[in-house]
């Protein structure tokens, strides 16, 4: 276990989020909600409206993530709400990708979509997690040659726990050893202690925070959704699971165990409902067309 590596990453994240929430509240929180309200009341939606909504929700998610991290480091009891809000608003950005409103998926977005799916699993919303994963592994990925170790593990992990909705991801390279070992432990019905495997994956997660890949963003450096989600899924089946010991996840587990559901934010629910009203259609010339089910309103997004 690389405690020094964890401490180095923690220092970087602490430095990044120190005072961030208070400094940026008027812009990233208040103005973001204002932009979202304008989206909701606009009767006709254009392509840029959906793009701006995704960007705004991503910004709002970042603000909530910083708010969570500050409270988490200070051991404040009210850190659960900002964490949940960060998960929810971050999901909207990738939901727009899933609906086809922002084009193909770049490699980095593929990883973040899979991590967002893990957030939905933590919140016990398996349907939305499946939607994102099915879209993420479709032919809309514009770099199919990418190895995608993390994505490969998440897809395999989802299929392990939800056999009725099994996903298939065809990679040339086999799953990385540290992830395969964890997957094997998760699939072992007799295994109640997966710490050895989790420790290795946690160290891998930390090692990837300095290479501009997977986890090199402060908002996800110390929140390993790809590790927390399968542990919670396993624990829901086997309540006697041994608690995790790695510093990356040890204090997070009781926090994420308190999270459930996705309907605590009425504005979020309205946004999801509004997005769901638009169904995408493809014209003969290849351009996209949105049709709003309830009023037959439509907009071209070429």
**Helical (H) or strand (E) element with 229:** helix 225-237
Q: Would you say 186 and 179 are in contact if contact means Cβ atoms under 8 Å apart?
A: no
Residues 219-229 have a mean pLDDT of 96
Instruction: Map residue 23 onto helix, strand or coil.
Output: helix
* Token code pair at residue 13: 């994240």
Tally: H helices and E strands in the chain: 14, 3
Which carries the bigger pLDDT value, residue 101 or residue 163? 163
Range in 109-113, 169-173, 205-209 the model is least confident about? 169-173
Tokens 């590596």 belong to 5
Q: Beta partners for 105?
A: 141
* Token code pair at residue 77: 């009891």
Q: Residue 148 to residues 48, 176, 214, 266: CA-CA distances in angstroms?
A: 30, 10, 9, 35
Q: Would you say 198 and 206 are in contact if contact means Cβ atoms under 8 Å apart?
A: no
- From CA 158, how far away is CA 258, in angstroms rounded? 21
Range in 83-87, 131-135, 209-213 the model is least confident about? 209-213
* Residue-range domain boundaries for the chain: 3-300
Q: Would you say 91 and 135 are in contact if contact means Cβ atoms under 8 Å apart?
A: no
**Helical (H) or strand (E) element with 84:** helix 80-98
Q: Would you say 171 and 198 are in contact if contact means Cβ atoms under 8 Å apart?
A: no
215: confidence class by pLDDT, cuts 50, 70, 90: confident
């Amino acid at each position: 276990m690389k405690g020094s590596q964890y401490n180095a990453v923690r220092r970087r994240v602490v430095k990044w989020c120190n005072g961030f929430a208070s400094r940026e509240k008027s812009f990233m929180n208040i103005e973001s909600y204002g932009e979202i309200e304008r989206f909701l009341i606009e009767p006709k939606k254009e392509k840029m409206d959906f793009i701006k909504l995704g960007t705004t929700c991503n910004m709002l998610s970042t603000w909530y993530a910083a708010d969570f991290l500050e409270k988490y480091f200070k051991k404040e009891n009210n850190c659960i709400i900002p964490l949940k809000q960060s998960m929810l608003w971050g999901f909207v950005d990738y939901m727009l990708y899933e609906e086809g409103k922002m084009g193909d998926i770049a490699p980095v977005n593929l990883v973040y979509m899979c991590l967002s799916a893990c957030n939905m699993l933590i919140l016990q919303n398996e349907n939305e997690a499946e939607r994102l994963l099915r879209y993420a592994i479709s032919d809309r990925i514009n770099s199919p040659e990418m190895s995608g170790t993390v994505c490969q593990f998440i897809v395999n992990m989802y299929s392990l726990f939800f056999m009725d909705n099994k996903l298939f991801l065809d990679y040339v390279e086999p799953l990385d050893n540290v992830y395969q070992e964890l997957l094997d432990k998760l699939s072992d019905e007799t295994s109640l202690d997966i710490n050895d495997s989790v420790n290795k994956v946690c160290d891998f997660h930390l090692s990837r925070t300095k290479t501009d890949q997977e986890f090199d963003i402060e908002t996800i450096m110390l929140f390993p959704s790809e590790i927390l989600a399968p542990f919670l899924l396993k624990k829901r089946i086997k309540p006697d699971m041994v608690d995790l010991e790695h510093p990356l996840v040890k204090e997070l587990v009781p926090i994420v165990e308190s999270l459930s559901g996705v309907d605590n934010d009425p504005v979020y629910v309205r946004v999801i409902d509004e997005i769901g009203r638009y169904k995408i259609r493809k014209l003969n010339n290849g351009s996209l067309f949105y049709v709003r089910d309830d009023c037959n309103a439509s907009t071209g997004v070429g």
